[in-house]
Each structure stands twice: as structure tokens, then as C-alpha cells.
Structure 1
């Protein structure tokens, strides 16, 4: 597949759920997925691709869906849990600039990998950090998990999201196998909904 084929696949999938946010497609054009995956011939396939340490660079159509659910706005402060290749973090940084994006990664090797990958894009509003998200003190406008939780972790994650999501904020959390959880903080209360469609994600490590 070429980039145009990948983008068409992403737009077709996103259109199932409503109007496509063209900023996401523009970001995917600029933040070339080929720069984030060592086997370049496969980079535009609309599938998840393994990058080591039991982690993947997520399927482009799934990434598009998650970014649309985040309701991103310019100037948002964003946190990603699970930097992996750095691709999703770079997309976030492109869309919300001048807002700042921080992406946490558990594996030091993947921290180095992600930092190298984003190096050519001059994203001065993006940082990749080796950190356990459970130690976080700050709160953010938008939070996205790029790795999946187990069913028995849902309550713990919900409490964490409540503590770290700003008012009017949005957070997307996938299960390892299952729907996406969508959290919105409104008037000091956390509202949670689930997508009807289901996905498969690499595991959350902590």
C-alpha cells in the first residue's frame, strides 16, 4: 500500500462514525508513518505492526478513530500512555500545537526508538519520557492510552483518570480486547461511555 491508500482506508473507517475530522488526515500526511517503522514496505498497511517488547504501532484506522473521539482542540495539553514508536504522540503534537504533548513509555529501548523517530519533524511541543504513569502528579486536557487494560483494571484506571483529567477533559482507554472507554470530566464528575465496536491492543505495562 501507498500513503494515499492508507489515508483512504482511514477516512472510510472514520466515516462510519460521522463526519471525518480532516485535521487528523492532514496530520497523517505530514507525520509519515514510514518514519516510525523499520520495515518501510509494510508501513502504510492499515494494520498494527510489531515494534518489539510486546508493543505495536497501532492500526492507522484505529488511531484515526481514537483521535476523533478525543475531540482535540488547538492549545490542549495532552498525555499519551505508551509512546511505542512515537507516531501517535507526533500526530497529537501536530494537531494541538501550540499545546504541549507528553508521552510516557515504560521501556527505555522504546523511549530511545520514539525519540529518534520524532527527531526529523521539529515538534518542539512534544516530549517522550521514561516514566510510570502511576507516579504522575499533573493533570491534562486530553489523555490517551495506546495500550490496553484488563477488565479487572477498569476501576483503578477510572480513579486515576478522575485525578488526572482536567475539567471538560476527555480520555480514551482501550481494553486489551474489547471496546474503547471514553471518559469526559464535566462539572467535576466523570462520565464514561463505551464504543460499540471492539479492538485488540498490546498490554498496558506498569
Structure 2
């Protein structure tokens, strides 16, 4: 209950999102040991490959902004720990999640299997190019910051679809934006300041 109260106080008010976050135990996605006791604090924590698991309030705000519907097919770019994909799996019909690090994808998939989250497909790939063989997507979420919304991902968004991502040219000044694809183009809405690892092309070495 305290966890949900903290989320609400940070602006996560969507009942479906709160229920999804209550169902998914964040501690399952954190390396046991030094940070296990901090799993339910509203702070980012380090994971393997120099990446981080985002703080719960940011996960909630991004998920809320994405407005996932029960029949949606969702693409997540940046699997990381797998926590965000697990939240999305509670809201969508199918989630595809991509990461450039094989270790992260394999570790996340092991947690998905343990939690019986069978509507998630994990892919080792360069997320900046999306997953064209599964396009179009109803929703796309990036958990790494790009200088601009990547063209290949915009092209894979269904008309009427929504993409949420952090944009910014440095790791200190980034803005979370929501992009909605219309018949005639794209609408852009700035949501809040955030800080994410950068979106990097190519596959990781780990």
C-alpha cells in the first residue's frame, strides 16, 4: 500500500497501471545482494552491462502516458532488467522487447519465464531499428534517450498509435515526450524532464 501511495504522490493515477505495478514484484528484476533491500524505494538502481532499472514512479508515468489497451501490440526498446516489459505485459495483448545486450535479454527472459509472463517476446537486436517484421505496433516505448525520435520507429507506429520516449542531446537535459501518429503526420507533446541512458546503435559486447 505504501508503494502505491508513493506512486500516486508522483502522479501515477491510472488504476490499471497501479494494479499492474502492484502485481509485478520489482525485487525479482534486481540483482540480489547490495540493492535488494532498496527494491521498493523510488530510485533507479544499477544492473548489469552498465545499465539501470528505472525508478518506479518514472516507469509508472511512462506506462500511463503510453495508454496501453488490452488488444495492443507493444514494442519496448531497451529491455534492461525486464521490469518495464513485465508491467506492460499486464496491460497489452503482446509485448516485444529488444535490447542490444545478450546478457540482459537472457536474464530478463529467465524472470519472465519464472513469473509465467508468456505474452512477452525478448529479442537481441539493435533497438534503434525497431522490429520491422512485427510492425506496425499500437504502442512503442523507449527506455533510452535519443536525440530525436528514430525514423525507423516512427515508421513502425500504427496510425493512431502512441510512442513515448526520452529525447535529449546529453544525459543531463532530457525531456519525456509522447508522439501520436495521425493520418497526416505526428503530434508531439512534452511531458516532463527525465534522465536515461543514451540510445546506442549496434549490439553490446556483453
TM-score bracket relative to the smaller structure: 0.7 to 0.9
- Tell me, yes or no, if structure 1 residue 94 matches structure 2 residue 90: yes
Partner residue of 1:174 out of 163, 166, 170: 166
Unaligned 5+ residue runs, structure 1? Answer: none
* Other structure's SS at 2:91 match: helix
Contact 2:51-2:197 at 8 Å conserved across structures: yes
- Tell me, yes or no, if structure 1 residue 204 matches structure 2 residue 199: yes
Which TM-score applies when normalising by structure 2? 0.87
* Other structure's SS at 1:53 match: helix
Distance in 2 (alpha carbons) for counterparts of 1:32 and 1:8 = 16
Q: How does 1:143-182 map to 2 (within 5 A)?
A: 143-149=140-146, 153-154=147-148, 157-175=149-167, 176=171, 177-182=173-178
Q: Which consecutive segments of 4 or more residues in structure 1 shift more than 3 A?
A: none
Partner residue of 1:120 out of 101, 114, 125: 114
* Other structure's SS at 2:90 match: helix
Contact 2:178-2:189 at 8 Å conserved across structures: yes
Distance in 2 (alpha carbons) for counterparts of 1:172 and 1:57 = 17
Contact 2:77-2:130 at 8 Å conserved across structures: no
**Residue 44 to residue 147, structure 1, CA distance change in 2 (3 Å):** same
Deviations 1:69-107 (A, max 9, x none): 1111111000000000101001101112xx110000100
Contact 1:55-1:203 at 8 Å conserved across structures: no
* Count of residues in Structure 1 that have an aligned counterpart in Structure 2: 191
**Residue 7 to residue 103, structure 1, CA distance change in 2 (3 Å):** same
Q: Which residue of 2 aligns with 1:136?
A: 131
Distance in 2 (alpha carbons) for counterparts of 1:116 and 1:161 = 27
Deviations 1:42-77 (A, max 9, x none): 111100111022211111001111111111111100
Unaligned 5+ residue runs, structure 2? Answer: 202-206
Query: Relative to total residues, which structure has the larger helix share, 1 or 2?
Result: 1
Contact 1:145-1:174 at 8 Å conserved across structures: yes
Contact 1:81-1:104 at 8 Å conserved across structures: yes
CA RMSD of aligned residues (A): 1.5
Deviations 1:107-154 (A, max 9, x none): 0111111111222221211111101121631220000001112xxx31
Contact 2:80-2:99 at 8 Å conserved across structures: yes
Distance in 1 (alpha carbons) for counterparts of 2:5 and 2:182 = 35
